[in-house]
A = this chain, B = another copy of it.
Amino acid sequence: MLQSAGIAAGVALSLPLAQLLSQAPAAAVQATPPPPIPPDPTKTPGLPSGALGERSPFEQPALAPLNVMQGATNAPLHKLRGTITPSDLHFQRHHNGIALIDPTKYSLTVHGLVDRPLTFSLDELKRFPSETRTYFVECSGNGRSAYRTPKPEMTPQDVDGMTSNAEWTGVLVSTLLREAGAKTSAKWVLAEGGDAALLSRSIPMEKMQGDAMIAYAQNGEPVRAANGYPARLLLPGYEGNMCIKWLRRLEVISEPNMSRDETVKYTDPLPDGTSRQFSFVMDAKSIITGPAYPEKLSGAGWWPITGLAWTGRGKISRVDVSVDAGRSWQLAEIVGSALPYAHTRFQYMWKWDGKPATLMSRAHDETGYVQPTLEEYRRVRGKGTDYHFNAIRSWTVAADGTVGFGG
């Protein structure tokens, strides 16, 4: 049995499966020259079905690593349409690698300030009534490099690719808390992952008794390995770091645990030297995904400006688009449905006159919150802040049609 790099001695992992999980089939395919395609596909029998419906060889989207950061890959937002993020293109952020968990050995323990500490197997979780909802998950640090070191050659994937949207199915946390009998002194719940980071966060009881869920399915099928297989926490609208993957333990407590990821990390430095802590909710945000770098417009005329908007406070109520760097704003159309705590697709038909232009989008949510300008954001949060970047983005269009990220 071959030993895979990064796996501790004594634990043999069969190489084919390590390859399956860790290597880059898409990148490998991209390196292959495009295949000779029948000149007239109506004259040549097509290919037979396989066990899976593969992508066209002309379309090989892939996650992309986020600069030098380990354990973070961004979703290719500019290659996607509609609102769903395909499960294999869902962004990834893990703090000590992708845990491999045997579902028959998986368990989730609910303990602490409860009448009856309980441990559930995966099969037991699936025997409770299930919920199905479409929710975005966004890394709290999404957009950091675009804020700190913006470059014209950044794609939407580079700028804001640590957000993704999926249909999740699972059991409400409130169902398990009712089984266990949470005591009245219970105010928080510590959620802990079963990965090698043992990532843990304290979550207010109100959220856990509300819409918090434990998801075992993502876009119809079991949650992907990198997204917390076999079960993960989902806190609609809250920062992704709290949506603990590979969830193994819920400890009902009276005060926040002050774990590493809610003290040293995932607090937001402010200009006065203090930090925002427990800044759970992701504020309303939007990004134009096209036209965007590396696209080049072929000439003046009608172009759809399209993008995504989302908010941790419920539904997107409206998206505005500007083609003159924010001097004037037009109402964009919401394409399809604006679901709560979900990516919402917008579009605006723009008649480009062929002159340089600066494109922006501005999200509003149902609470009346409006996405701030970069200047407003910088004044309040400071240049050194680390999380919750939601300022308005801009894309510059040059007279020759090239598009660049404008900060």
Contacts and interface: CB of A to CB of B under 8 A. Distances in A.
A300 interface: no
Contacts of A333: 129
Given A46-B94, A73-B49, A226-B49, A56 B169 contact: no
A55 interface: yes
A213 to B, nearest CB: 12
B54 A224 contact: yes
A100 interface: yes
B29 A20 contact: yes
Contacts of A126: 304
Given A20-B29, A21-B50, A50-B24, A129 B347 contact: yes
A51 interface: yes
Interface of A: 1, 4, 6-8, 11-14, 16-18, 20-27, 29, 32-39, 41-59, 61-63, 65, 70-73, 79-90, 92, 94, 96-103, 126-133, 167-169, 194-196, 198, 216-217, 219-222, 224-227, 229-230, 246, 302-304, 306, 333, 335-336, 345, 347, 349
8 contacts: A20-B57, A22-B48, A22-B49, A43-B196, A46-B96, A55-B221, A79-B221, A81-B169
Given A7-B44, A13-B38, 5 more contacts: A41-B101, A47-B98, A49-B98, A57-B225, A81-B220
